[in-house]
């Protein structure tokens, strides 16, 4: 049959072929001895179902079990997985999706021959469930129970939510994780999460993001956390998010690069170590109460930075001492009154920071006017006059002008003496008081100007000097000559 609905054991025993199997209203034990293949199996509205067995099924695409309150055992011993591909896909065999939610009494899951899953979601099952699973690879694993995966080597997206008091997931073979998400972090005891990864020689390849989210219901962790058990990785290719943790030390001292964003928000009484991070996309650290925002001593390149909270000032105002370039905006909103913005302003003046807004002290102490490509910080810089650079430029200009004026006067005096020997009747000029801009009419009676003749005059209050040529004088009509001051 294409679609089958089973409610009793007698119907299950007679079924030899079904593509899409639906189990509803079942009670007690259901065993399917003749069935060898099915595309999907959905179990719902069967709170009295206790055991579910498919002894001869070798291939299945999807199994979904919802709200099976008294279910204790699931058996699929012959289901086989395919071959894992380099891109994370699965070739051949079962493309197996298993989703079990709301089975609080489940004690045994038998899937010994399954090697590769597309999706494995196990929520609402007890932490003491015996999971006989030879799982080597999966695209997605999401669980809130303490299940052991000793053979697991790689997983695309791994999400773990701690509901019990401490778990050891037995990930002794794990080498590669795409995106790692850990929920309810405050429930973990000591460093028992991923205890097998605490070996210093172990190296984990993280291919995506790392997300750590605490629980608002727990004010304190159940035990001290010495360091992140999965920290032996030097790179987080995409994003790092830490949110809503309480009273936990977060050690990221092995991380050198973050390809995406670093986001710390709403954490309480935590410490963070980013001492080796040299590159990141955006850094956002907002509203972390009773938490000292960490220094980034090795940070060189970043897109945008936004800090709001108590900022570590143990090394003074230089919180990014190795910064080479912040391409976007740097916004600093310190909660502590002693934070000084002067070093950030200096980095802005030097072109290391593209745009800067800082509302601490010293936010205008080193402003430079020689940085036209840098956008000023809004409402944080106030100038009461010309900058020192502008004043120095004006002073140099005045000095040069004075030297040129002295040289010009000296030249005119010497030239006058020379001309006085050869010109018997030098012409005088009478200022025209009616014209603006210091205009003069030349008295040209009896004299004429030859080509190349230049008339030079000083201000009206100064001595007026007229210049005439040495050659033959030809009379021309008088014309106005404008003399610039």
Beta strands in 85-239 (DSSP E): 90-91, 97-101, 108-111, 116-123, 130-133, 137-143, 154-161, 176-183, 205-206, 210-213, 235-236
Residue that wins the pLDDT comparison between 440 and 16: 16
pLDDT at 269 over 50: yes
What does pLDDT average to over the chain? 75
pLDDT band at 109 (very low <50, low <70, confident <90, very high): confident
The mean pLDDT value for 428-457 works out to 39
pLDDT at 18 over 80: yes
- How many of the other CB atoms lie within 10 Å of CB of 404? 10
168-177, 230-239, 324-333, 472-481 — most confident range: 324-333
**Which residue in this structure is represented by tokens 């794990």?**
174
Structure confidence by residue, pLDDT tens digits, 397-440: 666 667 777 777 777 767 666 655 544 444 443 444 443 333 33
**Which residue in this structure is represented by tokens 């206790």?**
50
pLDDT for the residue 371: 37
pLDDT band at 444 (very low <50, low <70, confident <90, very high): very low
Which of 13-22, 333-342, 351-360, 380-389 has the least mean pLDDT?
A: 380-389
Residue that wins the pLDDT comparison between 126 and 34: 34
DSSP 26-41: --EEEE-SS--EEEEE
57-61, 113-117, 399-403 — most confident range: 57-61
Structure confidence by residue, pLDDT tens digits, 308-350: 999 998 888 899 999 999 999 999 999 998 899 999 999 999 9
pLDDT for the residue 75: 93
18-27, 144-153, 233-242 — most confident range: 18-27
The mean pLDDT value for 459-475 works out to 44
Structure confidence by residue, pLDDT tens digits, 81-99: 655 555 544 444 556 789 9
Residue that wins the pLDDT comparison between 445 and 21: 21
pLDDT above 90 covers a percentage of the chain that reads 39
Is residue 109 within 8 A of residue 88, CB to CB? The reply is: no
pLDDT at 41 over 70: yes
Backbone angles phi, psi at 43, to 5 degrees: -115, 125
Structure confidence by residue, pLDDT tens digits, 150-179: 788 889 999 988 665 556 666 777 888 899
pLDDT band at 53 (very low <50, low <70, confident <90, very high): very high
70-79, 124-133, 450-459, 467-476 — most confident range: 70-79
pLDDT at 457 over 50: no
pLDDT band at 143 (very low <50, low <70, confident <90, very high): confident
pLDDT for the residue 100: 93
What ranges do the domains of the chain cover? 422-482
pLDDT at 112 over 90: no
pLDDT for the residue 478: 44
Residues contacting 341, CB < 8 A, separation 6+ = 317, 332, 358, 359, 360, 361, 362, 363, 380
DSSP 386-455: --HHHHHHHHHHHHHHHHHHHHHHHHHHHHHHHHHTT-SS---EEE-TTSTTTEEEE--TT--PPTT---
């Amino acid at each position: 049959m294409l679609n089958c609905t089973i409610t009793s054991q007698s119907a299950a025993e007679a079924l030899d072929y079904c593509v899409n199997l639906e189990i509803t209203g079942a009670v007690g034990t259901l065993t399917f001895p003749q069935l060898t293949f099915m595309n999907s199996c959905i179990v719902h509205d069967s709170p009295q179902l206790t055991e579910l067995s498919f002894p001869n099924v070798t291939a299945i695409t999807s199994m979904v079990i919802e709200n099976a309150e008294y279910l204790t055992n699931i058996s699929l011993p012959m289901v086989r997985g395919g071959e894992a591909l380099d891109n994370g896909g699965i070739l051949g065999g079962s493309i197996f999706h298993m989703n079990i939610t709301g089975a609080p009494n489940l004690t045994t899951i038998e899937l010994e021959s399954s090697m590769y899953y597309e999706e494995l979601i196990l929520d609402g099952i007890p932490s003491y469930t015996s999971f006989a699973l030879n799982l080597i690879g999966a695209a997605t694993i999401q669980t809130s129970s303490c299940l052991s995966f000793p053979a697991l080597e790689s997983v695309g997206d791994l999400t773990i939510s701690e509901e019990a008091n401490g778990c050891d997931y037995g990930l002794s073979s794990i080498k590669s994780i795409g995106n790692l998400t850990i929920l309810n972090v405050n429930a973990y005891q000591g460093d028992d999460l991923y205890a097998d990864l605490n070996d210093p020689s172990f190296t984990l390849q993280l291919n995506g993001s790392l997300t750590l989210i605490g629980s608002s219901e727990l004010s304190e962790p159940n035990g001290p956390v010495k360091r992140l058990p999965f920290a032996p990785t030097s790179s987080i290719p995409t994003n790092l998010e830490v949110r809503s943790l309480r009273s936990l030390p977060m050690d990221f001292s092995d991380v050198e690069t973050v390809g995406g964003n670093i986001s710390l928000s709403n954490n309480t009484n935590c410490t963070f170590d980013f001492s080796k991070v040299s590159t990141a996309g955006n850094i956002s650290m907002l509203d972390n109460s009773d938490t000292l925002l960490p220094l980034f001593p090795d940070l060189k390149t970043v897109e945008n930075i936004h800090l709001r909270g108590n900022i570590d000032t143990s090394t003074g105002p230089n919180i990014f001492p190795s910064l080479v370039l912040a391409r976007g905006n740097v916004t600093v909103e310190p909660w502590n009154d002693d934070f000084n913005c002067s070093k950030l302003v200096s980095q802005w003046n030097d072109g290391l920071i593209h745009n800067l807004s800082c509302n601490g002290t010293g936010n205008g102490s080193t402003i430079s006017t020689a940085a036209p490509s840098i956008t000023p910080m809004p409402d944080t810089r106030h100038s009461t006059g010309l900058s020192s650079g502008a004043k120095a430029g004006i002073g140099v200009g005045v000095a040069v002008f004075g030297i040129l004026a002295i040289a010009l006067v000296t030249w005119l005096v010497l030239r006058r003496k020379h001309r006085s020997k050869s010109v018997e009747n030098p012409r005088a000029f009478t200022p025209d008081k009616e014209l603006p801009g210091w205009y003069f009419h030349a008295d040209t009676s009896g004299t004429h100007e030859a080509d190349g003749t230049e008339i030079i005059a000083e201000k009206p209050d100064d001595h007026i000097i007229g210049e005439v040529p040495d050659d033959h004088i030809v009379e021309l009509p008088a014309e106005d000559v404008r003399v610039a001051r």
